Amino acid sequence: MPCNGPDHLDFSADGSYLLIGCEFDGTVVKVALKTMTVVGTIHVGGLPVDVKLSPNGKVFFVANQGLGGVSVVDPVTMKVLGFIPTGNGAHGMAISRDTTKLYVTNRLAGTISVIDFSTRKVVHTWNVGGSPDMVQVTPNGSQITGLEPIRHDGRGDLHDGWTRDPADRGRRGSARARVLPATGSVQPRS
C-alpha cells in the first residue's frame, strides 16, 4: 500500500473498488478489487480515518481527525468536492438506518455531529463527553452506540461506551455510560 497508516475503508456500490484512508500521510487511496492494484490517490490533508460510501453511491465521506471535519470525495475523478466542519478530531462515522444522516464522532471535542446527506450540512451536534471513537447504529435505528478508548491501571486498553437516542436532539443527561472490560461483559459505570 503506497501510504502510511492505512486505516478504515469502504467499498463502491458495484464492488469494483474500495477507498481507504491513510491516517499518517493525509491521503485516500483507491484500489481496484479485481486486480488488487492502486488506481488512484488523493491528498486530502490532515489525518483521514474513517471512510463511508454515500447512500446514493456517488461520493465517499472521509472523516478527517486532523482537519476537524469530513471531506467529500468524488471516486471517479479522485478530487475533493467539499469539506464539512464537524468538530475537533473527526474520527468515526455511521449512516442512519433510513440513510438520511451521517453520524460523525469528534474525538477531541467529545461530541457527535449529525450531517444531513441531502444538504451536506451539520444539523445537530451532541455533547457526549469523553473521546468518542467509532460509532454504530442499532438494527432498529433507535440508538447510536460507540466506544472510546481509555487507560485503566496500566493493564492495557479498556473501553468506556456510550449510547445515544437519535431522537433526543442533544438534551442534557441523555448519554448513558457503560464500562466494557477486556472480558467483553458490560456493566453499569460507577
Say if strands 48-53 and 60-64 run parallel, antiparallel, or are unpaired. antiparallel
Q: What contacts 34, CB < 8 A, 6 or more positions away?
A: 16
Per-residue pLDDT of the chain (190 residues; tens, 9 = 90+): 789 999 999 999 999 999 999 999 999 999 999 999 999 999 999 999 999 999 999 999 999 999 999 999 999 999 999 999 999 999 999 998 899 999 999 999 988 899 999 999 999 888 877 777 888 887 877 777 775 554 333 433 333 444 444 554 443 333 333 222 212 223 333 3
CATH class of residue range 1-84: mainly beta
Residue spans of the domains in the chain: they are 1-84
What are the strands of the beta sheet with 37-43, ordered from one edge?
Answer: 6-11, 17-22, 27-32, 37-43
Give the span between the Cα atoms of 5 and 49, in whole angstroms.
Answer: 9
